[in-house]
């Protein structure tokens, strides 16, 4: 079976992990800050805070922006549930903004209209979470302009997009966001097995992120509420979590980071081959935004028919032929938990159409020319 995504682990990666296993540090050692600094340098961000998953990073990002009960957070329906769950973890309300079906990303027009209506009702969001679907950056400059006009914060969910570019800057530079979140799950661009990172240019936010990821505990005198009892002393000053990354994970992530540009280049070459193959067919490919370089975590196509039975038959037939086609994503509001919150399927028509037509095809650096040609030929025969 050709998987839709797969990690690429080198001997250097293995050696880096083994070196940590043979060291004195397995959990909170020197590799975590090394990984944080290396990624911050790569993205030209001031601060990076490593955690055990992008889900954890999204949660503490909301907390660091003081999201709580009575607040509202908006995101796109076409994402993994974590992009919305993070607001609910904080006791806030969640709402969605429809997508631009050409890109799969949040629609700037829909966002602007929803903000205009929300201001009239005094229901503006505290935070908006744009998601860079498949590795393609949203139009962050436009979103930032709306953030200034309507006074909301931005958490850039770039779980798919580490290594990508937006307007000649690395995704993660936080030029247009308060916080950017990355994922290092094995099917992402680089992996630390499980793991995530939150980047920011704001020192106060970075300190809050660090506090929330580790039980809300401090151990330096300037952060304490009383004089230290001795070198063993610490204080819990917030209700934090055990969201820390291990040195084992950080060593793998740090080693993988050395190959990130090579991975992104290969993914773009594979995506270009798909683009060429589907150019004059009934298959629609997602359109890249101007002045961007996608990291191409996923390669998503839209089938010609808005017929979920047809799409199901195509996916099943591909899997029968050992091609693990998949769908990213089921609109979050269609999940039973969110339906129970009052969401219905008629509110976001572009997301509905996208879901009825979308298929993710295999895309990962080790995908061979022969396998990709087989995928293309098989799909075109089915269509």
One domain for residues 189 and 286: no
One domain for residues 29 and 73: yes
Provide the pLDDT for residue 307.
86
Residue 2 counted as domain residue: no
CB-CB contact of 90 with 68 (8 Å): yes
Instruction: Tell the residue number behind the tokens 């505290």, with chain if given.
Output: 126
CB-CB contact of 110 with 164 (8 Å): no
One domain for residues 265 and 252: no
Residue 277 counted as domain residue: yes
One domain for residues 64 and 197: yes
Q: Determine the Cα angle at 105 with ends 104 and 107, to 5°.
A: 110
Query: What's the CATH number where 218 sits?
Result: 3.40.640.10
Using a pLDDT cut of 90, give the percent of the chain over it: 93
One domain for residues 357 and 374: yes
Say yes or no to pLDDT of 270 above 80.
yes
Residue 4 counted as domain residue: no
pLDDT in tens, 140-149: 999 999 999 9
Question: Quick one: tokens of 218?
Answer: 């401090």
- In this prediction, residue 329 has a pLDDT band, given cuts at 50, 70 and 90, of very high
Residue 70 counted as domain residue: yes
One domain for residues 139 and 191: yes
- In this prediction, residue 9 has a pLDDT band, given cuts at 50, 70 and 90, of very high
Terminal Cα distance for the chain, rounded: 20
Average pLDDT over residues 31-36: 98
When divided into structural domains, the chain yields a total of 2
Provide the pLDDT for residue 222.
87
Residue 6 counted as domain residue: no
The residue out of 257, 276, 296 marking a domain boundary is 257
Distances (CA, A) of 170 to 108, 130, 292: 21, 16, 9
Residue 314 counted as domain residue: yes
Give, for 105, the enclosing helix (H) or strand (E): none
Backbone angles phi, psi at 127, to 5 degrees: -140, 140
Residue 243 counted as domain residue: yes
One domain for residues 94 and 221: yes
348 contacts: CB under 8 Å, gap ≥ 6: 77, 96, 98, 99, 331, 333
Say yes or no to pLDDT of 349 above 90.
yes
Query: What's the CATH number where 308 sits?
Result: 3.90.1150.10
Residue 5 counted as domain residue: no
Model pTM score: 0.97
CB-CB contact of 155 with 90 (8 Å): no
Domain range holding 97? 11-257
One domain for residues 196 and 265: no
Instruction: Tell the residue number behind the tokens 């949203």, with chain if given.
Output: 138
Say yes or no to pLDDT of 290 above 90.
no
pLDDT in tens, 198-254: 999 999 999 999 999 999 998 888 888 999 999 989 999 899 999 999 999 999 999
The residue out of 240, 257, 274 marking a domain boundary is 257
CA diameter of the chain: 73
One domain for residues 219 and 265: no
The residue out of 257, 275, 291 marking a domain boundary is 257
- In this prediction, residue 347 has a pLDDT band, given cuts at 50, 70 and 90, of confident
One domain for residues 247 and 184: yes
pLDDT in tens, 158-170: 999 999 999 989 9
One domain for residues 91 and 169: yes
One domain for residues 126 and 275: no
């Amino acid at each position: 079976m050709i998987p839709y995504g797969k990690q690429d682990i080198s001997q250097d990666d293995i050696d880096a992990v083994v070196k940590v296993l043979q060291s004195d540090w397995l959990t909170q050692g020197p590799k975590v800050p090394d990984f944080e600094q290396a990624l911050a340098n790569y993205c030209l961000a001031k601060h990076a805070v490593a955690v055990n998953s992008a889900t954890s990073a999204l949660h503490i990002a909301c907390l660091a922006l003081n999201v709580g009960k009575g607040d509202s957070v908006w995101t796109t329906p076409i994402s993994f549930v974590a992009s919305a769950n993070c607001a609910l973890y904080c006791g806030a309300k969640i709402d969605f903004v429809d997508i631009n079906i050409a890109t799969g990303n949040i629609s700037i027009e829909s966002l602007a209209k929803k903000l205009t209506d929300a201001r009239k009702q005094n229901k503006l969001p505290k935070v908006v979470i744009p998601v860079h679907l498949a590795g393609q950056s949203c139009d962050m400059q436009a979103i930032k302009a709306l953030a200034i006009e309507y006074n909301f914060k931005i958490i850039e969910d770039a779980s798919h997009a580490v290594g990508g570019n937006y307007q000649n800057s690395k995704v993660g530079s936080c030029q247009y966001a308060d916080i950017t979140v990355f994922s290092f799950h094995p099917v992402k661009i680089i992996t630390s097995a499980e793991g995530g990172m939150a980047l920011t240019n704001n020192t106060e936010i970075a300190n809050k992120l660090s506090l929330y990821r580790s039980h809300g505990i401090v151990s330096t005198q300037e952060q304490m509420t009383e004089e230290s009892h001795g070198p063993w002393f610490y204080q819990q000053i917030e209700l934090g979590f055990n969201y820390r990354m291990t040195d084992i994970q950080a060593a793998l992530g740090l080693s993988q980071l050395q190959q990130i540009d090579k991975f992104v280049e290969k993914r773009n070459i594979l995506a270009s081959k798909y683009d060429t193959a589907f150019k004059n067919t009934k298959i629609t490919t997602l359109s890249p935004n101007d002045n961007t370089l996608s990291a191409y975590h996923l390669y998503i196509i839209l089938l010609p028919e808005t017929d979920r039975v047809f799409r199901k038959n195509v996916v099943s037939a591909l899997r029968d032929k050992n091609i693990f086609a998949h769908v990213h994503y089921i609109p979050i509001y269609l999940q039973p938990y969110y339906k129970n919150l009052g969401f219905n399927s008629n509110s976001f028509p572009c997301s509905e159409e996208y879901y009825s037509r979308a298929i993710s095809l295999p895309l990962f650096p080790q995908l061979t020319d022969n396998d990709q040609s087989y995928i293309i030929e098989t799909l075109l025969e089915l269509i």
